[in-house]
């Protein structure tokens, strides 16, 4: 049962990774597996060769918490391969309810995470505000246009993969900001092995190195780091606000024009400028569905702590 729940959390992380502006790290954060994920990845280092020598491959597999990682990453890949098309369709066909659902999900998650902080101070309040500002700034800055070189591909992989661990920051959106999104997806589509391996190498380096840093911060400065990460989550709400006006467009790997820079609108402004229905009732229902989902997970975790861990 424990590993079934880990698999389901992987499904949720994979589904979130499909949505631009929402990261799998956010789901790991609110479902309580971020620490376990960080510690498991952190255990993959050069000392693992000594563990293999002493305990064999099975011992090394258990040393890195292999069953957890296998279940989680299987869930992530299952979700990406099976739910990606559905979520992409819903984002196009019913964008307002879908964005409203994620808006409510993250909003209540901020409340949920702040309740885990033992005490507040001026310094922690400053870290919270800093987290909000950083996330908001990232979602609002103009995209760059990095040259598509091997080094930039490698660095892009290093930076983008941190979204898997860092709540609030979307890896796909980071690639858009770097100007590498279309090129990387194009390389995947054309099965350009050299580019794919370079990007994957950067992703592996970024994953292993950043996991050590974030794990260290959570161990030594748990509440302060928690406050900053929660600020990051809150700061992304501007990115997933349901009612927007598209200012500029970009071409994706399929040659389709998709939104790049957007401006948030009130529901009334949205109806006035676009002539479309703001779908307020459906938006409110979807938002409360996201809130109730996190609230239900919190209640379930209190009643069944060993299962949900």
In 3D, which of 127, 222, 131 has the Cα closest to residue 169? 131
Band (152; pLDDT cuts 50, 70, 90): confident
CA–CA separation, 23 and 14 (whole Å): 9
Which tens digit of pLDDT belongs to each residue from 188-229?
667 778 888 888 898 888 888 888 888 888 888 888 888 988
35-49, 159-173, 271-285: lowest mean pLDDT where?
159-173
Number of structural domains (the chain) is 1
Domain hosting residue 256, numbered range: 2-308
* pLDDT tier at 13, thresholds 50, 70, 90: confident
> What is the per-residue pLDDT for 285?
96
Can you give the pLDDT at residue 282? 94
Cβ contact 112:46 at 8 Å: no
**Alpha-carbon distance 207 to 215, whole Å?**
12
pLDDT of residue 283: 94
When the pLDDT of each residue in the chain is averaged and rounded to a whole number, the result is: 80
Q: Are strands 257-264 and 244-251 parallel, antiparallel or unpaired?
A: antiparallel
Give the three-class secondary structure for 96. Answer: helix
pLDDT digits (tens, 9 = 90+) for 107-149: 887 887 788 788 788 889 999 999 899 888 877 766 666 677 8
Angle CA 304–12–161, to nearest 5: 120
16 vs 47, residue with greater confidence: 47
Polymer length of the chain: 309
Query: What average pLDDT does range 228-249 have in this prediction?
Result: 82
Closest CA to 115 of 307, 298, 305: 298
Q: Is 23 helix (H, G, I), strand (E, B) or coil?
A: coil
For residue range 247-299, list pLDDT tens digits in order: 776 665 556 666 667 788 999 999 988 888 999 999 999 999 988 887 877 77
- Name the most confidently modeled range: 147-156, 238-247, 276-285: 276-285
- Count Cβ atoms within 10 A of the Cβ of residue 130 and give its class: 0-12 exposed, 13-18 middle, 19 or more buried: middle
């Amino acid at each position: 049962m424990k590993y079934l729940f880990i698999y389901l959390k992987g499904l949720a992380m994979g589904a979130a990774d499909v949505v631009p502006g929402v990261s799998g790290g956010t789901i790991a954060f609110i479902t309580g597996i971020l620490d376990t994920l960080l510690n498991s990845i952190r255990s993959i280092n050069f000392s693992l060769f000594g563990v293999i020598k002493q305990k064999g491959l099975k011992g090394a597999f258990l040393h890195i918490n292999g069953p957890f990682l296998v279940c989680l990453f299987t869930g992530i890949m299952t979700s990406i391969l099976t739910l990606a098309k559905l979520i992409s369709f819903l984002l196009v066909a019913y964008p307002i309810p879908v964005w409203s659902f994620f808006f409510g999900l993250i909003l209540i998650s901020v409340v949920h995470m702040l309740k885990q902080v033992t005490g507040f101070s001026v310094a922690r309040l400053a870290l919270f505000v800093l987290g909000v500002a950083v996330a908001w700034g990232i979602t609002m800055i103009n995209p760059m246009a990095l040259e598509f070189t091997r080094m930039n591909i490698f660095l892009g992989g290093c930076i983008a993969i941190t979204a898997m661990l860092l709540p609030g920051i979307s890896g796909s959106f980071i690639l858009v900001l770097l100007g590498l999104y279309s090129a990387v997806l194009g390389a995947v589509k054309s099965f350009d092995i050299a580019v794919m391996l370079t990007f994957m190498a950067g992703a592996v380096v970024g994953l292993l190195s950043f996991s050590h840093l974030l794990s260290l911060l959570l161990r030594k400065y748990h509440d302060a780091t928690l406050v900053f990460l929660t600020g990051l989550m809150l700061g992304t709400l501007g990115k997933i606000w349901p009612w927007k006006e598209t200012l500029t467009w970009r071409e994706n790997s399929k040659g389709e024009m998709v939104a790049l820079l957007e401006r948030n609108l009130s529901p009334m402004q949205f109806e006035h400028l676009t002539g479309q229905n703001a779908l307020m009732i459906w938006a409110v229902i979807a938002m409360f569905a996201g809130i109730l989902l996190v609230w239900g997970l919190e209640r379930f975790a209190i009643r069944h702590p060993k299962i949900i861990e």
